[in-house]
Structures are given as C-alpha cells and as structure tokens.
Amino acid sequence: MKNDISKILVSEAEIQAKVQELGSLISHDYSEKYPIIICILKGAVLFMTDLIMSISIPLEIDFLSLSSYGDSTKSSGVVKIKKDIDSDIQGRHIIIVEDIVDSGLTLKYIQNYFDQHHPASIKVCALLDKPAAHKTDLKIDYIGFEVGNEFVVGYGLDYAQKYRNLPYIGILKEEIYRK
Ligand code: 5GP
C-alpha cells in the first residue's frame, strides 16, 4: 500500500495536532450550543471520530452517506443520498464534517439539503481543502490543511475503496489511477 504513495503530504503527527486545535476551537465556539456533528461517510469517519474525542463539550453525532456519479477521481457534484441522518436538525446547531473539499459542489449540495430542515446554524469543518479547485462560492469555517490539486488518499480518504487505513495523507502515484 505504501509503495503506491509518491509523497506524504500531511504526517500522522501533524494531523493529530491539527485535530486537537480544531477540537479546542469548536469546544470554545459551541459551549452551551449542544451541536450535532454530522459526518459525511465514508471519507470523514476517521477525522470525525478523532475530532469528537478532542471536543470537550456535550454533542450528538450523526451520519450522511452520499453516492457520487462520474469519474472516480473527480466529483461531478451530482449526488444522491444513500443514507440520511436520523436526527431532527430543526433549530439545532449543526457542524458538517467533510474529508476534503475539491470543487465544493458536494458541500453545496449538502448545505442546501440541510437548509431545507431549518437548523439554527450550519458550519463546516473540513480536514482538507483544495482552494484552487473550487467551482462555487463557499465558506468553510474550520479547515485542517490546504492542499494543491493532487489526488490524495489516507486517513479516511480512498481510491477505489483502498488506502483509507493509512494514518497519514499522501499523494497517490498517478500510474495507480491512470491504469
Ligand atoms: P467536490 O464535490 O468538492 O468536488 O468533491 C468532494 C468529494 O470528492 C470528497 O468528499 C471526496 O469524496 C472526493 N475527493 C475530492 N478530492 C479528492 C482527493 O484528492 N482524494 C480523495 N480520495 N477523494 C477526493
């Protein structure tokens, strides 16, 4: 698995330090707000579980699973909900936890979808952001790391369902997905 990685972009130690930092910020911003942390499956699951353990205030968790159409290394933004959240988010403060924002189209879709259920507020926490790839206006409230336009895997992020269990974020060798 490691042989398929051309470069480690964010090390395990850097990820863990950043998660603690984000957890402290969220604990501060949401004291008394009893937020619902919504994990976008499957990519954000490792980030979300580490993140909630670094948050010191009461919270709830929930999960949303989407399927995306098109090429496996590019999102089309055309998504379908495979598993909806179970919570009633009306009047609640929600934090969407995403693995990576690329074009931003998936996030836009999710925000519009949740908006229809009238939460008190919606904020976004993304482990990784590719600012040069955005195709829509976005506000990401908590960002772990900015990355370039490379295709990355590890710490929850996959290629063809593989590499999620790498403890770091790495660039996948192009020859793996250009095969
Ligand atoms: P967007 O709609 O912002 O273009 O794409 C977001 C989704 O595409 C992410 O949640 C993720 O599933 C996938 N994605 C975008 N860039 C990458 C990447 O570099 N690596 C991996 N593994 N998935 C990515």
- Domains in the chain (CATH in brackets) are 12-148 (3.40.50.2020)
- Name the active-site residue from 4, 62, 84, 102: 102
Looking at ligand 1, which residue's alpha carbon is closest to its atom 23?
157
Looking at ligand 1, which residue's alpha carbon is closest to its atom 8?
75
Residue 88 has phi, psi (to 5 degrees) of -90, 110
Q: What angle do CA 56, 62, 68 make, to 5 degrees?
A: 130
Cα 116 from chain centre: 21
Confidence label for 1 from pLDDT (cuts 50, 70 and 90): confident
Q: What is the dihedral of CA 157, 137, 85, 63, to 10 degrees?
A: 20
Q: What is the dihedral of CA 11, 16, 18, 19, to 10 degrees?
A: 140
- Each residue of 2-21: pLDDT tens digit? 899 999 999 999 999 999 99
H-type helices in 30-116, by residue range?
Answer: 45-53, 105-115
For the chain, the average pLDDT equals 94
Going from the Cα of 25 to the center of ligand 1, the distance in angstroms, rounded, reads: 25
Q: Is the pLDDT of residue 74 over 70?
A: no
* CB 158 less than 6 A from any atom of ligand 1: yes
160-175 in b/e burial notation, b at 16+ Cβ within 10 A?
eeebbebebbbbbeee
User: Is residue 112 a contact partner of residue 66, using CB atoms and an 8 Å limit?
Assistant: no
**29 is known as an active-site residue:** no
- Each residue of 112-147: pLDDT tens digit? 999 999 999 999 999 999 999 999 999 999 999 999
pTM over 0.75: yes
Going from the Cα of 32 to the center of ligand 1, the distance in angstroms, rounded, reads: 33
Q: Is the pLDDT of residue 73 over 90?
A: no
State the closest ligand 1 atom to the C-alpha of 79, by its place in the atom list counted from 1. 2
